[in-house]
C-alpha cells in the first residue's frame, strides 16, 4: 500500500491535496499488509535543475508514476511531466518526460490537469483544462496512456458550449481507453433558476475508438426536472445513468430515475422513474424547517455514488449537504467590522436499491447531523464500501447517537474532538445497524472520511489525524 502525504511547514503532515508552496513538500510512504511502515521518502521533482510542483502520483498495473507541473514562461505554457518512481526506494528514477501542455497567462490563469484511472488500473486519462475567458467555447485536451505511459491517443476538443455555461462534473475512463464526461449546461446565465424555472440540463459526452468517435447522450424526463445526475460505465460496455428529479425546482427531490444505455449504439436498453413512497417520506418528518408535514419532496440531497449490480439493478447513495452563510457587522465608534462565518452541513445519508425492472426495492435513511463552522467540513461527510449484498458506511458522529436510530432524536455532531468513528452496515433488505469503530478522543486522532476508501474487494482503507499525529488502518469486510 502506498500513501502520499502533504507536508505543511509548521503544521505537520496532512493527506495529499493539490498545490504546493516553497515551504511545503510531499512524503510518499509504503506499507506492508499489516500496515507496518516500510519506506518513507520526500518527493522533490525538478525540471532542468528547477523545482517543479507535484500534481499527482498514480499506481498503474504495478508501476508508480509521479506527475508534476513546470511553468515555462518562455513559451507561456504550463507543462506536465511524468517520472517513474521506484516501488522499493520510492525515489524518482529515470528522467522527467514532458507529456502535456496548456497555455499559461498568469498564476491565476494557468489552468489545470485532471486525472482519471480505469477500473482495471491499466489506463490513465489526463485532461488539460486551460483558463477560459468570456464568450469562448469550452476547450480542453485529452491524453490517454497505458500502464507503461505509452500514449494511446490524444485529442484537442472544442465544444459548441460556452465555457462559462459548461460545468464538467466528472470524467469516467473505461478499460478500453474510452472516456465519458458528465456535464451540466446552463442556459444563458449561470443560475440554478431563471424566472422561477430550472435553468440547466445534463449531457453525457463520449469519446470512443481512440477519440475519433464523439457522441452526446441527452438525459431528460418529459414532465420532470432532473436535479442531480450520476453515471457509471459497466464492464460490458454500458452506461448506467441515475438521477434525482423534482416537480419544484433545483434543491428538492421527489423521486429517482435510472437508465441503462448501450455505450456504442446509444440505444436505451431500459429506463424508469419512481416517486418516493409514503413510508420513505415518513422518515423525514421531524422538527426541521426544511421539511413541512405534507411536503412530497426532500431537500438538498446530492447523489454521490452509483453501484451497479451484476443483475442489472443499482444502488444509489446520497447525502444532504448545504452551506449556510452568516455575516455580522459590528460598530465601535467609527470603526465598523464585518465577519462572515460559513456553516457546513453534512447530514443524513439515503440509500436506494433499484431492481433490474427499474422499481425501487427499498429506500432507507441513515440519520446523521454534522454541522461545523469555517472548516470546509474537514472531518465531515462519509465514505462507503460494498461487499456482496452489504453496504458499509463510515463517518464521525456524536457518541450519544450510537444507540439512537430514531431520526427525530438524533444529536448534532459539532465537535470533531469529542466524536466517535462509526460503522453502519446496511443489509440486503435495507435494514441497518450502527457500531463503534473507535473513540476519536481516546485514540487522539480524528477520522477523515473523505479520504477513506475501499481498497480491495474485502477491505476498506481508513485514515485519521490530529495535528502532527496520523494513523492509517483498514477494516476487513
For the chain, domain boundaries:
380-477
Q: Is 8 exposed, middle or buried (0-12, 13-18, 19+ CB in 10 A)?
A: middle
How confident is residue 134, by pLDDT bands cut at 50, 70 and 90? low
| pLDDT at res. 16 | 42
User: What phi and psi values does residue 158 have, to the nearest 5 degrees?
Assistant: -125, 120
> Could you give the CA distance from residue 296 to residue 294 in angstroms, rounded to a whole number?
6
How crowded is residue 222: how many other Cβ atoms within 10 Å of its Cβ? 4
| pLDDT at res. 109 | 72
Residue in the structure block whose three cell numbers are 434525482 = 244
Q: Is 412 helix (H, G, I), strand (E, B) or coil?
A: coil
Closest residue by Cα to residue 379 from 451, 442, 441, 435 = 451
Residues 6+ apart with CB under 8 A from 408: 285, 286, 287
Q: Is 315 helix (H, G, I), strand (E, B) or coil?
A: strand
pLDDT per residue as tens digits for the range 314-335 = 999 999 999 999 999 998 888 8
> Could you give the CA distance from residue 382 to residue 272 in angstroms, rounded to a whole number?
28
The pLDDT of residue 11 is above 50:
no
pLDDT per residue as tens digits for the range 39-54 = 999 999 999 889 999 9
**pTM score, whole prediction:** 0.88
Task: Identify whether the C-beta of residue 79 lies closer than 8 Å to the C-beta of residue 89.
Answer: no
| pLDDT at res. 448 | 95
> Could you give the CA distance from residue 309 to residue 242 in angstroms, rounded to a whole number?
13
Indicate the DSSP class of residue 177: S
Task: Identify whether the C-beta of residue 393 lies closer than 8 Å to the C-beta of residue 423.
Answer: yes
Indicate if the alpha-carbon torsion angle 431, 384, 387, 363 is positive or negative.
positive
H or E element at residue 447? strand 446-447
> Could you give the CA distance from residue 206 to residue 215 in angstroms, rounded to a whole number?
5
Q: Is 107 helix (H, G, I), strand (E, B) or coil?
A: helix
End-to-end Cα separation, the chain, in angstroms: 17
| pLDDT at res. 74 | 81
| pLDDT at res. 142 | 95
pLDDT per residue as tens digits for the range 256-292 = 999 999 998 889 898 889 999 888 888 886 544 454 5
Closest residue by Cα to residue 264 from 198, 307, 209 = 209
> Could you give the CA distance from residue 434 to residue 207 in angstroms, rounded to a whole number?
43
Percent of the chain with pLDDT over 90: 60
Closest residue by Cα to residue 142 from 178, 118, 175, 106 = 178
Amino acid at each position: 500500500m502506498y500513501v502520499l502525504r502533504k507536508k505543511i511547514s509548521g503544521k505537520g503532515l496532512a493527506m495529499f491535496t493539490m498545490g504546493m508552496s516553497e515551504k511545503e513538500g510531499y512524503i510518499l510512504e509504503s506499507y506492508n499488509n499489516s500496515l507496518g511502515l516500510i519506506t518513507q521518502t520526500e518527493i522533490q521533482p525538478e525540471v532542468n535543475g528547477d523545482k517543479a510542483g507535484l500534481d499527482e502520483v498514480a499506481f498503474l498495473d504495478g508501476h508508480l508514476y509521479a506527475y508534476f507541473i513546470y511553468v515555462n514562461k518562455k513559451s507561456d505554457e504550463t507543462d506536465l511531466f511524468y517520472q517513474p518512481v521506484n516501488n522499493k526506494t520510492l525515489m524518482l528514477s529515470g528522467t522527467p518526460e514532458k507529456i502535456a501542455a496548456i497555455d499559461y497567462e498568469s498564476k491565476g490563469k494557468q489552468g489545470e490537469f485532471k486525472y482519471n484511472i480505469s477500473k482495471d488500473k491499466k489506463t490513465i486519462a489526463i485532461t488539460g483544462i486551460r483558463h477560459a475567458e468570456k464568450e469562448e467555447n469550452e476547450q480542453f485536451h485529452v491524453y490517454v496512456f497505458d500502464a507503461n505511459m505509452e500514449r494511446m491517443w490524444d485529442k484537442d476538443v472544442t465544444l459548441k458550449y460556452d465555457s462559462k455555461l459548461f460545468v464538467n462534473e466528472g470524467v469516467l475512463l473505461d478499460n478500453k481507453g474510452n472516456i465519458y464526461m458528465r456535464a451540466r449546461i446552463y442556459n444563458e446565465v449561470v443560475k440554478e433558476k431563471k424566472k422561477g424555472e430550472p435553468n440547466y440540463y445534463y449531457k453525457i459526452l463520449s469519446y470512443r475508438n481512440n477519440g475519433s468517435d464523439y457522441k452526446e447522450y441527452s438525459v431528460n424526463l418529459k414532465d420532470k426536472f432532473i436535479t442531480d445526475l450520476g453515471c457509471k460505465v459497466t464492464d460490458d460496455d454500458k452506461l448506467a445513468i441515475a438521477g434525482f428529479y423534482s416537480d419544484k425546482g433545483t434543491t428538492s427531490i421527489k423521486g429517482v430515475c435510472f437508465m441503462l444505455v448501450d455505450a456504442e449504439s446509444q440505444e436505451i436498453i431500459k429506463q424508469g422513474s419512481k416517486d418516493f413512497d409514503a413510508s420513505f417520506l415518513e422518515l423525514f418528518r421531524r422538527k426541521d424547517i426544511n421539511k413541512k408535514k405534507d411536503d412530497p419532496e426532500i431537500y438538498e440531497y446530492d447523489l454521490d455514488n452509483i453501484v451497479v449490480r451484476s443483475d442489472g439493478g443499482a444502488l444509489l447513495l446520497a447525502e444532504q449537504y448545504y452551506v449556510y452563510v452568516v455575516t455580522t457587522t459590528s460598530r465601535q465608534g467609527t470603526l465598523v467590522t464585518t465577519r462572515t462565518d460559513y456553516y457546513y452541513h453534512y447530514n443524513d445519508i439515503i440509500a436506494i436499491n433499484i431492481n433490474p425492472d427499474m422499481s425501487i426495492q427499498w429506500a432507507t435513511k441513515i440519520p446523521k447531523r454534522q454541522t461545523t463552522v469555517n472548516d470546509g467540513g474537514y472531518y465531515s461527510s462519509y465514505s462507503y464500501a460494498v461487499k456482496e449484498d452489504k453496504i458499509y458506511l463510515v463517518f464521525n458522529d456524536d457518541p450519544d447517537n450510537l444507540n439512537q436510530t430514531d431520526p427525530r432524536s438524533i444529536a448534532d455532531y459539532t465537535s470533531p474532538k469529542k466524536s466517535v468513528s462509526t460503522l453502519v452496515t446496511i443489509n440486503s433488505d435495507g435494514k441497518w445497524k450502527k457500531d463503534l469503530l473507535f473513540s476519536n478522543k481516546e485514540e487522539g486522532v480524528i477520522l477523515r472520511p473523505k479520504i477513506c476508501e475501499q481498497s480491495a474487494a474485502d477491505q476498506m482503507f481508513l485514515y485519521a489525524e490530529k495535528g502532527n499525529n496520523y494513523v492509517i488502518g483498514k477494516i476487513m469486510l
